[in-house]
Structure 1
Amino acid sequence: MSLPSRASYRDIPLYSPSKVKCGVDLSDNTNLFGMPPAAERVLRETVTTQVSRYPVGYAPDLKQAVARYTGVDPSWVTTGCGSDDVIDSTVRAFLEPGELFAFPDPTFVMMPYLSKVNGVRGAAVPLKPDFDIDVDGLLATGAKLIYVCSPNNPTGTPASRAALERLVDHAPGIVLLDEAYAEFARESHLDLASRPNVLVARTMSKAFGLAGMRVGYAVGPPTLVAEVEKARGPYKVAGLSERMAAAALSEDVPWMKARAEEALAVRARLVAELETLGLKTLPSEANFVMVPLPGAPAVAERMRQRDVNVRAFQGLKGIGDALRIGCAPWTQIEAALGALRETLR
């Protein structure tokens, strides 16, 4: 007997970037400069009774901490199991099956995946030659939900303020702005969440160094937040994760800012070193760089054989093959550069 399955699911592959265990792993853009001290204290102080009981539904303490950090009322905050969960819940909350979900190309690789698993149609709109978003192209789709990541993953390039404002002003529905890398950028656009049709998603996985705890959030009008809350379910953030994230947001912001500055200093040094190898990076405002390089997947595989993991992309729209290299303490970057030099020889 063949088991029933959704026809639309049959051709969906699992999200599976190359994950060979390497001594140096620069493939995820996470904070490799340590753990937020207050979050570490919460981890050490966790007791058995906290583990054996459900967390409070809808993460109220975490919402309070996010609200203080972002300067909004807690009713303007929703949370989830990473920002990708918040994005997934937003797609479910605002799109009926078969409707259009628009996003730039290239962008966060989960967008086509989330389109398929939620039964909506993904509309990928190429970035402009200067890597800004194509506002006219996104609007021309007529999509009721438009996603923009700024700084963009995997390119590291930001969307311009003028483009974002025009998109928000003329969008036929909701704009979901993903600011996963906002703490590294020169400019945040969190204030756009005051508009009636904007949600701004963020994560604790990058600058705050809590990727393993899986915490994300979004800020926006309570009318939009309430719909996302319906789609997310009550217990999407583990109790320990909530307590650690809330502590980091409340006590570890100076620590986070110092680590972010360290990552940006490493990025500048990395860009200079790559230039000595004849490699030009895209203009990044994130904690990683993208290096267009023909044959990048094969280069990344040879680097993995030298115990270094970086993320390879193939045939990106307007870019071609490329490597994405995350910033980390310089000893790890030196190891990556050594592996890259040997590979390019």
Structure 2
Amino acid sequence: MTSPDLRHHGDVDAAAGLADFAVNVRVPHPPDWLRDRLAAALDDLGRYPSAAAEHRAREAVARRHGRSPDEVLLLNGAAEGFALLPKLRPRRVAIVHPGFTEPEVAFRDAGVPVEHVTLTGDFTLPEVTADVDLTVIGNPTNPTSVLHSAARIKQLPGRLVVDEAFMDAVPGEPESLAHDPDVLVLRSLTKTWGLAGLRAGYLLADPDTVARLAFGRPHWPVGSLTLEAITACCSPAALDETERLAREAAEHAAYAVEQLGELVVVPPKAPFLLAKVPAGVRLALRDKGIAVRRCDTFPGLDDTCVRVAIRPPREFALFVDALRVVMEELA
């Protein structure tokens, strides 16, 4: 069994009544146009998800990334994709940390040996020579908010699995490998579009890999509302809005760095940042009604690190003010 700490996620830190800077969903609810699309699909819930709806969703994802529909596997959130990866039967897996812990949970629970590649300093990738046949990395990486070079990722050993759950928050997506047929890429739609409760994501890989991962899934593995959300969020209009939101998020990130200064470990490339603070700050913030993500559950980090969701300046100022008070009290 895996350590229970590896199953800890930001939603646990964001208890009811707290100002939420722990969860990385960028908006509190879907935009009106997406809610209207989902509301219009409610009348079809009396019918099973159709093959036509699934095909439309796969085609929308394929067009979005310049792939073919048989290279797309639709998921109930990207996390489901990690649970399917042990079907590839790797002999030994390397996981780059600090990073999202669900891939390690999936492999360890399946009895697959896992080797850590633990980054330090500014969290850049060193030369990796691990004897593995599969490597998992996040890009941008959660919780460090580091964007790795696609060319450098391609030098990692074994088959590559890249978690691009936050790539659509990077203007232009310059380091994405979603177009590369030799790389298995997972994407989430829940972060940008406020769909964490619906669960919507997809996986991109060669057709044989997609077929292996899909084998044994229950019939109708993805519900009608998720299919509608995937189709809608991969439309040309939605992609234009995604880019606008990504550029806006970059402006918000610059403001957050300016406010926090030396507390920021590395310049953030995703809609969250890693901050280095004295031990006890997270719990003191919680006492003042502010939730941030604890980071001692990520291999390679400890309780002096917290992950902070980046919000618009007026909202982020609430966190900055509370942090300033807490730091003064602890000093």
Q: TM-score, normalised by structure 1?
A: 0.84
Of residues 230, 244, 247, the one that matches 1:261 is 247
Residue 147 of structure 1 contacts residue 175 of structure 1 at CA under 8 Å; is this kept in 2? Answer: yes
Separation in 1, partners of 2:55, 2:227 = 9
Which residue does the alignment assign to 1:314?
Answer: 296
Deviation of 1:15 after TM superposition, in Å, equals: 2.5
Q: Does 1:182 align with 2:176?
A: no
State the shift of 1:271 in Å: 0.6
**Pair 231,37 (structure 1): closer, same or farther in 2 beyond 3 Å:** farther
Task: Confirm or deny that 1:291 pairs with 2:285.
Answer: no
Q: Using the TM superposition, name which of 227-236 and 322-331 deviates more.
A: 227-236
Give distance in 1, aligned partners of 2:5 and 2:267.
Answer: 31
Question: Map of 1:8-47 to 2, 5 A cutoff?
Answer: 8=1, 12=4, 15-16=7-8, 17-32=12-27, 35-47=30-42
What's the CA shift string for 1:47-75, capped at 9, x where partnerless?
34x22332136932221111121121111
What is the CA-CA distance between 1:315 and the residue it aligns to? 7.9
* Paired residue secondary structure (1:153): coil
Quote the Cα distance in structure 1 between the aligned partners of 2:252 and 2:176. 25
Q: Where do 5+ consecutive residues of structure 1 fail to align? A: 1-7
Letter in 2 for 1:262: E
Per the TM alignment, residue 236 of structure 1 is displaced from its structure 2 partner at its CA by 3.0
Structure 2 match to 1:339: 322
Q: Deviation at 1:342?
A: 1.6
CA–CA separation in structure 2 for the residues paired with 1:273 and 1:180: 26
Q: Secondary structure at the match of 1:256?
A: helix
Match of 2:306 among 295, 303, 323: 323
Give CA deviations for 1:123-160 in whole Å, capped at 9, x if unaligned: 11112544123342xx42x2222101111111011222
Q: Aligned to 1:255, what secondary structure does the other structure show?
A: helix
Task: Give the Å deviation of 1:317.
Answer: 5.7
Q: CA 1:235 to 1:144, structure 2 compared with 1: closer, same or farther past 3 Å?
A: farther
Q: Tell me if structure 2 keeps the 8 A contact 1:105–1:126.
A: yes
CA distance in 2, matches of 1:128, 1:304: 28
One-letter amino acid of the structure 1 residue matched with residue 295 of structure 2: F
Q: Which residue of 1 aligns with 2:86?
A: 92
Distance 1:13 1:337 in 2: 28
CA distance in 2, matches of 1:135, 1:212: 39
Aligned length: 320
**Contact 1:78–1:217 (Cα < 8 Å) also in 2:** yes
Per-residue CA distance 1:67-90 (angstroms, 9 max, x = gap):
12112111111111111111221x
Does the 8 A contact of 1:83 with 1:215 survive in 2? yes
Q: Which residue of 1 aligns with 2:119?
A: 127
Q: Secondary structure at the match of 1:335?
A: helix
- Post-superposition CA distance 1:202-240 (Å, at most 9, x none): 110122332221111111211111111115444332211
Distance, in Å, in 2 between the alignment partners of 1:114 and 1:154 is: 19
Q: CA offsets, 1:252-295, max 9 Å, x none? A: 222222222222111110110001xx523312211111012231
> Once superposed, what is the RMSD of the aligned Cα atoms?
2.4
Task: Name 1:4's counterpart in structure 2.
Answer: none
- Is contact 2:139–2:146 with CA below 8 Å preserved after alignment? yes
Q: Does the residue aligned with 2:275 lie in a helix, a strand or coil?
A: strand
Question: Of residues 108, 118, 121 in structure 2, which corresponds to 1:116?
Answer: 108
2:264: which partner in 1? 280
Whole-angstrom CA distance in 1 between matches of 2:31 and 2:233: 6
Identify unmatched segments of 5+ residues in structure 2: none
- What is the aligned-residue identity percentage? 25
Letter in 2 for 1:131: F
Instruction: Return the TM-score normalized by structure 2.
Output: 0.87
Letter in 1 for 2:13: S
1:154-169 to 2 correspondences below 5 Å: 154-167=143-156
Equivalent position of 1:237 in the other structure: 222
| Distance verdict in 2 for CA 1:18–1:315, change over 3 Å | closer
Aligned CA distance change for structure 1 residues 101 and 56 (closer, same or farther; 3 Å): farther
Cα offset, 1:14, TM superposition: 8.0
User: Structure 1's 246 and 131: CA in aligned 2 closer, same or farther, altered over 3 A?
Assistant: same
C-alpha distance after superposition, 1:14-69 (max 9, x if no partner)? 82442321342121211227524432111221334x22332136932221111121
